[in-house]
Amino acid sequence: MKDRINIKESSNAQVYPCVPTRELVVFPNMVMHFDVGRPGSVKAMKNALQGEGYVFLVAQKDVNVERPEKSDVYKIGTVAKVKQIIKTPNGVYRCLVEGVQKARLAELIDNDACYEAEVRNIPNYGRENLSENEITALFRELKEVFADYARVLPRMPQELYTQVMGASDAKSLFEAIAFNIVLPFEDKQRLLEIPSSGEKTAFLLSVLSREIDVLTLEAQIHEQVHAAIEQNQRDFYIREQIKALQNELGENGFGDEAGDMDEIQNYVDRIHRLGAGDEVENKLLSEVKRLSRMASGSQEAVVIRGYLDTCISLPWNVYSKDQTNIKKAQQILDKDHYGMKRVKERILENLAVRSLTPDIKGQIICLVGPPGVGKTSIGKSIAKALNRKYVRVSLGGVKDESDIRGHRKTYVGAMPGRIINAVKQAGTKNPVILLDEIDKMSNDFRGDPSSAMLEVLDSEQNFSFRDHYIELPFDLSDVLFVTTANTLETIQPPLLDRMEVIELSSYTREEKFNIAKKHLIPKQLAKNGLKASQMRITNDGIYALIDGYTREAGVRKLERAIGSLCRKAAKEIVEDGAAKVVFKDGNIEEYLGHRKYLPDLVSKENQVGCVNGLAWTSVGGVIMPLEVLVLDGKGKIELTGSLGDVMKESAKIAVSLVRSIAEKYKIRSDFYEKNDLHIHAPEGAVPKDGPSAGVTMTTALVSALSGIPVRSDVAMTGEITLRGKVLPIGGLREKTMAAYKAGVKTVIVPKENMGDLDEVDDTVKLGLEFVFAEKIQDVLDAALVKKTDPEDIPYEIVKQPVRKASKAAVQK
């Protein structure tokens, strides 16, 4: 052969460009085309064409490996002569090669651009291990087996059949078959590795016999499927003739004469019992009529049956009787949940209105608050209090409009939307449906589910809600929808406008204590198989859990901490035989480790330029000390402590206000020119912002500039104007709880927040003195330490009335 490598087979190694092939095996003397797409393989083929023209082709063991190593390819491959490389329009290179010499891979060299292979040539056909008669017998048997293979293989090329049958020896017969028929590449690799032509023939004989069995089985399966299809078509044709005869006889599918009339009559009876109105009844009866004229096993009949079953199972005229006893409903709500006064009042108002006007429609409540405050669990309590069925629908992550409205029933796998499914699950027309996480809905190319929810939650539209699957108007006006959300910012304004928003703020320390004692501890005891006599958490232990191991708006972490104590108690009871385990403030650290949260920083002594401010956070109120230092300078104001834009503006207002009252407190009038002021809020890594630190900054500046100390037992909150008016703030309930917990005795709040005391816990009212400030003068009079010597008083004292809630007032 003219392209035979002109090197004797020996242990001498040669280096060629290498292409690892996927599911492709090239034999010596074989001419074939194949495509190359990987950059390294393209580079190797180009290098071979530009060089001596030889490339080493070796098959990969795993076709999914992108950068194969030596262990990922077979040891035996073929050195081939590159005849031609053509780039196709889609960027793939079509290569024409001719196998030249079988070779063994010694080393695979991985360059950045391409592969190279160090190979040693081995004979294409080695020494024969079979006798001449054995080879002749295999030669004849292979021809007969190939003739059988040609009979079972569809579209066998006549040229290939002639070439195989005309082969005169085992080598030419092997090459004619192996080069041209489709076999798994593992089998072809095995044929390449086998040394002698006789052994190759024997292995190829076994492979062809296996392929004949597979092809025969495939033909049998094909014939069975074809026969079944013909039988179904024949049955369908006969059924259609029977129906045509029934129509001629007046048997329209609703009589007992038809073959499947029992099923049809059952559907008709169920539809008449629904009492769903003429429109619904006529639509469903028309679908039953269509079903009666179809083959029972057809795909369309299956779709109609599913549609009828779904529609009939809906509660078109089924109602549950509402609870009318308000006192009993209040007992249920109080038993299940502690606090939540506004939510409970709203539900009881709903009961009272229903007792007067049973036909009231369109009530959608939206509970908004941080995670863990009981928004989801309150829905079940509402249903229990109203004596209604309860269904929860999670909307988190919903971004397909079909999840709300359903799919068209013409699609395969169509189903109704979540709202209709919830009504179907409830089994009544007036359930309580909790739409959980309504603020987590999003939209994409499949539609906007928030827009679909508008029809569901709009009392002017939902009396005739049409699901895409049902295609019938369904009245949702009797459903009490309760939605939950963590924030209102991500809810679309048109959707938010249709809901009555009730905000659930974070729990106070006292509320967490009562929730833990009345609900969480009994729940975790039962969950961990403990009795109340086996484990006890004292009151100071509960407070220690709340203050030292949890800092959250809700009670989820508190419940997990209680569950951890229950598990540790169970271990002591089982392992050490303890009769009872008691957790208290003194030993909780032994079980849960050191305390994760430290108490708020509150000064124990009166200090100059240091004021206790009050701040609201998502996990409750905190004490926020504010410090001011006066330095010699040129009037520069330094603000540190991660203060936001609002607090920076409050600082500027405070400086201007102090300049206006400087003379009253014997402060140098030119302090803003000759002194630098440094205002700092500790815990600088925590961002702080909000319109409630104005009075705190002003008091700290007056104290630092005048040298008058600030009372350490006073905390304050409020914003100011340039003229010294104290503006109202929010979060009074949480802020006062923080002051009470920190041991503060007096709290200064804006006078306009006096009405918000109704929301403050009774324990806090009894433990604190409240000073209601209308102007900054009221704040300074109450916060700054008063001199006992009249001559030392640097300013005029205006007596400020201090209000302390009496026990009778609290009870009232």
Q: Are strands 620-632 and 637-640 parallel, antiparallel or unpaired?
A: unpaired
Residue 172: C-alpha distances to residues 124, 153, 197, 269, 313 (Å): 13, 22, 9, 78, 73
Tokens of 587: 């030993």
The answer to whether 494 touches 454, Cβ cutoff 8 Å, is: yes
Q: How far apart are CA 547 and CA 554, in angstroms?
A: 13
Query: C-alpha angle with apex 728: 722 to 732, nearest 5 degrees?
Result: 140
Among residues 292, 692, 703, 712, the one annotated as catalytic is: 692
- Assign residue 577 a region: left if phi > 0, alpha if psi is -120 to 50, beta otherwise? left
Q: How far apart are CA 482 and CA 435, in angstroms?
A: 6
Reply yes or no on whether 650 is catalytic: no
Q: Which amino acid is at 694?
A: G
Residue 439: C-alpha distances to residues 326, 367, 493, 496, 562 (Å): 32, 11, 12, 10, 30
How far, in whole angstroms, is CA 771 from its chain's centroid? Answer: 48
Among residues 43, 200, 440, 735, the one annotated as catalytic is: 735
Closest to 732 in 3D by CA, of 767, 763, 699, 759: 759
The answer to whether 125 touches 195, Cβ cutoff 8 Å, is: yes
Per DSSP, the residues of 558-612 read HHHHHHHHHHHHHHHHHHH--S-EEE-TTTHHHHH-S-SSPPP---SS-BTTEEE
Q: How far apart are CA 678 and CA 700, in angstroms?
A: 11
Closest to 794 in 3D by CA, of 780, 805, 808, 774: 780
Tokens of 116: 């190279």
The answer to whether 717 touches 735, Cβ cutoff 8 Å, is: yes
For the chain, the residue count is 812
Reply yes or no on whether 71 is catalytic: no
Residue by residue, what is the 3-state secondary structure of 115-162?
EEEEEEECCCCCCCCCCHHHHHHHHHHHHHHHHHHHHHCCCCCHHHHH
- Give the number of other Cβ atoms within 10 Å of residue 228's Cβ: 10
Closest to 336 in 3D by CA, of 389, 382, 394: 382
Per DSSP, the residues of 630-661 read EEESSS-EEEESSB-HHHHHHHHHHHHHHHHT
Q: Which amino acid is at 467?
A: D
**Contacts for 543-546 with beta carbons within 8 Å, 24 or more apart?**
543/509, 543/513, 543/585, 544/584, 544/585, 544/588, 544/595, 545/516, 545/588, 546/509, 546/512, 546/513, 546/516
Tokens of 458: 């709009």
Residues designated catalytic:
692, 735
